[in-house]
Structure 1
Amino acid sequence: MGTDHVVIRRAGDSDAAEMADVWLRSFTAALPTVQRPHDDAQVREWFASVVVPAHESWVAVADGGLVGLLVLDHSELEQLYLDPQWRGQGLGDRFVDLAKRQRPDGLHLWTFQVNGPARRFYERHGFVAVEWTDGRHNEENEPDIRYMWRP
């Protein structure tokens, strides 16, 4: 596919529903063993009422549809999800580069320990694991890892 024809732009309120759909498809594909604490309708409401209005949100658009999203909350890379068919095409690299440009003083993020591909991806981009938890403090009750990137 390649990402040459993909446009990355700031998200607007009208993107919330498609962002939620990408998130749901990606989460389901990447994390089949992780129990989601919210149903699809609640995820869609969260994107519409919290994510897009309250956070710096970016979307990737190709062929008229959303294929990825990036959400930054202060220094936290809060969300980076790609439509499953867009994995391995370089789009995630473009989103991380954008996040680093937007937060040149550094970033942190959380990912589930079970998500080996995400861990390898972030480590390849210079993120270092700084904290491992038993999952007691996330809604999924899933062991996770906090990563940091410093320029």
Structure 2
Amino acid sequence: MNSDAAVIRRAGSADAPNAADVWLRSYRAALPTVQCAHSDAEVRTWFSDVLVPQYETWVAVTGSGVVGVMVLHGEEMKQLFLDPSWRGQGLGDQFMALAKQQRPDGLTLRTFQVNTAAQRFFERHGFIAAERTDGQRNDEQEPDVHYIWQPQN
């Protein structure tokens, strides 16, 4: 259990390297069987040049640094990654509440089919699997699931 409380805020350019590192650690921990299509350097450049400056990027920060990252773009949640030591402690729930607050009309996202923990998490938060694909539309060529969340009226 982490004793530091995490504060979620919009990411700034200085957060990009640490957010990329969280993404890389989380990806490796959550998806050990999925080969990342990009090098660590490419991921870091993507965070610095694309995600943080061009997308709505949020980070969870503690006294020890960035421990989570969420990226929204339009109605899509593009990324939601937590440092492995922060999984199961409610931080993902906080990010999800923020995402729904930011996108009250609905959200979409994709996750790999092998990531059953993520599927359970998203389904617990009201997302419905709308489509399962063969992965031909993602860089990893990994079968994925397209999820949709619509608010209850």
Q: Is the 8 A contact 1:67 1:82 kept in 2?
A: yes
Compute the displacement of 1:2 (Å). 5.6
Aligned partner of 1:32 in structure 2 is 32
Compute the displacement of 1:64 (Å). 3.3
Compute the displacement of 1:3 (Å). 7.6
Instruction: Map Cα deviations across residues 35-54 of structure 1 (whole Å, 9 max, x no partner).
Output: 11110000000000000011
The letter of the residue matching 1:22 is V
SS in 1 for 2:35: coil
**Distance (whole Å) between structure 1 residues aligned to residue 86 and residue 4 of structure 2:** 13
Compute the displacement of 1:135 (Å). 0.6
Summarize the Cα distance change of 1:62–1:4 in structure 2 as closer, same or farther, 3 Å threshold: closer
Aligned partner of 1:23 in structure 2 is 23
The letter of the residue matching 2:91 is L
Aligned partner of 1:126 in structure 2 is 126
User: What's the TM-score once normalised by structure 1's chain length?
Assistant: 0.97
Aligned CA-pair RMSD: 1.1
**Distance (whole Å) between structure 2 residues aligned to residue 87 and residue 54 of structure 1:** 27
Structure 2: any 5+ residue segments left out of the alignment? none
Moved over 4 A (4+): none
Q: How many residues are paired up?
A: 151
Structure 1: any 5+ residue segments left out of the alignment? none
Compute the displacement of 1:62 (Å). 1.1
Summarize the Cα distance change of 1:140–1:19 in structure 2 as closer, same or farther, 3 Å threshold: same
Q: Is the 8 A contact 2:4 2:63 kept in 1?
A: no
Aligned partner of 1:136 in structure 2 is 136
% identity of equivalent residues? 63
User: What's the TM-score once normalised by structure 2's chain length?
Assistant: 0.96
